[in-house]
A = this chain, B = another copy of it.
Amino acid sequence: MIANLIARRIAIIGVGLIGGSLARALKKVNAVKTVAGYGRDEKHLQKAVQLGVIDTYSLNIKEVVNDADIVVLATPLSTADSLFAAMSGSLKQTVIVTDVGSAKGKIVESARGNLGELFTRFVPGHPIAGKEASGVEASFAELFDAHRVILTPVAETEHEALNVIIDMWELTGAEVVSLDVEQHDEILAATSHLPHMLAYALVDCLSGMQERDKIFEFAAGGFADFTRIASSHPRMWHDICFSNRKQLLKVMDQFEQHLDSIREAIKNDDSDALLNIFERAKTSRDKFTDQRKKRNDSPE
């Protein structure tokens, strides 16, 4: 299967759920000879070697990237600035750098500011896949299979670099699509970042209630579905909020207006208004389900 080889050596910066799953997926199809891992916690990196996720590691990022054909940044977004800065002097001229961050605007600026002329070799990326569990132990090769990966190349991005990263993700089974940086951040604020804020706020709200024990005792499947994402990695989501702050605040304001419309309808006994909102929402949600079925994407 050597035909699949996209790189001799890949460096995974942050060997967690996403970085680890990418390494596993690429190894599974023999798309890479050596995976080198960087992290701050040596025990964690040793575990990743034991699990066969990476082949080598170092706590010195320069050693990990200096020989790499592809460097994948898979750490929380707030670390991007310092890690780009730390690696920039040690990268090969032919390197391709990519990332997996859930917000693209800030990381593109960070790469632009830190990678110098190698910024043209940076391909911003975002796999739409994940689960609540984090860490390399939770990683698995099929995480991206039949999931979308959004790439947000900019004017400077070299086509050759873009094509290699498209190939890389397609080898994991993912469907690769392109969006503008701005459009990505707006869409993700609405479909992912806002729902996470609502789930965190709901769980925090209920935890603060007098009846909290009974509340959690009687919470049923709908609540479980609704709040599962509140078990997501706090530091990662903290970073996403600040990285996509403008779009997130905008969509939070819009959401509150819609929630207020519901509240006002209930408060004012406005039966027609309330029914109208619920029917409109059900129509949209049912349409979404139909589209999803048609796309035959990850099943609901």
- By a beta-carbon cutoff of 8 Å, the part of chain A in contact with chain B is 128-129, 147-148, 150, 179, 183, 186-188, 190-192, 194-209, 211, 214-232, 234-235, 237-238, 241-242, 245, 248-249, 251-252, 254-259, 261-263, 266-267, 269, 271, 274-275, 277-282, 284-289, 291-292, 298, 300
Copies of this chain: 2
| Given known contacts A190-B215, A203-B281, A228 and B225 CB-to-CB distance under 8 angstroms | yes
Q: Which residue of B lies closest to A274 (CB)?
A: B238
- Please measure, in the bound complex, the distance between the C-alpha atom of A289 and the C-alpha atom of B223, giving whole angstroms: 11
Contacting pair B214 A187 (CB below 8 A): yes
Distance (Å) between the CB of A175 and the closest chain B CB? 11
| Given known contacts A201-B259, A203-B281, A204-B280, A220 and B254 CB-to-CB distance under 8 angstroms | no
Q: Which residue of B lies closest to A269 (CB)?
A: B242
| Given known contacts A187-B211, A266-B242, A225 and B223 CB-to-CB distance under 8 angstroms | no
Contacting pair A187 B218 (CB below 8 A): yes
Report chain B residues within 8 Å CB of A215. 187, 190-191
Report chain B residues within 8 Å CB of A278. 200, 234, 237-238
